[in-house]
A and B are shown apart, each in its own frame.
Chain A
């Protein structure tokens, strides 16, 4: 396994160089759906982090027992188990938030991000590396989610975490908290990230 990245490399890669949303375009469904406020976005990021970490550890522990043609089914069932735990936990302790997030918590099961990490990293490398990878990817996912949510919440309602940051005269851009705003914000931010990347690569060459 000499060619596989080490635990630290995996951890760093997940945060910016291989950011799950901006670089790999994975897990777009929750990214667009829950980012009209910081609170739901952070709750979503925490749930995904929990599921990703647990699933990566479990898959990494049983990686020698996996049969190639059954591995996707095993991945999904493992993820579904942890999503059920996260869903019940939210329903018990953060009832209002669980109502607002609604079907998007169970939809973590089919989030391509987690299946992709299980496939790429956890089913090949040791537990420690898999856990580091999961934490790195989860931080990257959380950063991406909160950047989109910050733009949408500030422009859409003039508030940040429910506190007013823009003056009262600000005409709330309601479109930003409605579904079209999600597409527009993510599209523009993605273009911005690509632009920064292009400038950087030009400077270094």
Chain B
């Protein structure tokens, strides 16, 4: 029950509350660049969701098997050269960025070849976007978020398993699709509007993105509300642990936080 609730909250948080595009600003380049037609935006969203789930699976496996301190595979290999105690403490997390970006790039290549061979229809709908996805921040961001929940977590109960990792990635992709499809719908209507010359193109897209982000702020607090309603006895467990990215001034933190909570409650 707790596990199911956790999965549900992770999904809700990733897709709506902390939307990848409108809250974390990852995947802005396609959001501005590819959001002219609804069909194209939907194809891009599908491709990202597809790749991000595969990348989450790969990065979770690599992190738990190889990179983590005391990971089974690296400890086994190091066991040939070192004593048992030394082999168990091997920590390869410093290599994580290089490994992730390599895993993403190669999985995109493989996915492209596989889809082209076996699903030609699917390839026609999102094939052109696949190579672009390698440099889409959303994929790497999902890998890094999963890593922050696997490596360096004190309580072993809070370490994410594969199910949580893939849920986060898949619904992050869904959230990306939602945002980019809404945006492209608005931009199709904008074609008929008389926009001032300096604002044509990217500028008006960003302003609309800001208004969409205000709309998505309305979801703030939904997750804690659901958790309190369904299981009031548990202390507030954060479902997606993120660095406090919104606030940088120590003395201002409290006031702004309480303010954003008020917005959520209203």
Contact = CB atoms under 8 A, between A and B. Distances in A.
A165 B208 CA distance: 30
B222 to A, nearest CB: 16
A87 B140 CA distance: 15
A180 interface: yes
B145 interface: yes
Given A36-B248, A183-B209, A102 B242 contact: yes
Nearest to B144: A103
A94 interface: no
A180 B210 CA distance: 4
- Of the listed residues A25, A109, A110, A174, the one surrounded by the most CB atoms of chain B closer than 10 A to its CB is A110
Given A179-B22, A191-B198, A102 B256 contact: no
A183 B101 contact: no
B223 to A, nearest CB: 17
A175 interface: yes
A60 B152 CA distance: 38
Chain A interface, >50% SS class: helix
- Of the listed residues A39, A77, A84, A106, the one surrounded by the most CB atoms of chain B closer than 10 A to its CB is A106
Contacts of B23: 179
Interface residues of A, number: 57
B97 interface: yes
A120 B35 CA distance: 25
Nearest to A180: B213
Contact of B205 (A83, A103, A187): A187
A28 B32 contact: yes
Contact of A32 (B28, B95, B246): B28
Contacts of A88: 94
A167 to B, nearest CB: 17
A29 B137 contact: yes
B134 interface: yes
B202 to A, nearest CB: 5
Interface residues of B, number: 56
Contact of A174 (B32, B145, B259): B259
Contacts of B28: 28-29, 32
Interface stretch (A4-12, A124-132, A138-146, A192-200): A192-200
A37 B248 contact: yes
A48 interface: no
Contacts of B204: 187, 191
Interface in A87-125: 87-88, 99-104, 106-107, 109-112, 115
B198 A192 contact: yes
A37 B141 contact: no
Contact of B140 (A73, A107, A184, A195): A107
Contacts of A187: 199, 202-210
Given A25-B32, A110-B140, A198-B198, A159 B97 contact: no
A162 to B, nearest CB: 6
B25 A32 contact: yes
Interface in A1-43: 25, 28-29, 32-34, 36-37, 39-40
- Of the listed residues B98, B139, B204, the one surrounded by the most CB atoms of chain A closer than 10 A to its CB is B98
Nearest to A78: B98
25 contacts: A33-B25, A36-B246, A36-B248, A39-B248, A73-B105, A81-B98, A84-B97, A107-B137, A110-B139, A111-B137, A157-B249, A159-B249, A162-B249, A177-B256, A178-B246, A179-B213, A180-B214, A183-B207, A184-B210, A187-B199, A187-B202, A187-B203, A187-B208, A190-B206, A191-B199
Instruction: Please name the 6 residue pairs, one residue from A and one from B, whose CB atoms are nearest each other, closest first.
Output: A102-B243, A183-B210, A187-B206, A187-B207, A194-B198, A184-B210
Interface of B: 22-29, 32, 94-95, 97-98, 101-102, 105, 134-137, 139-141, 144-145, 148, 196-199, 202-211, 213-214, 217, 242-249, 252, 255-256, 259-260
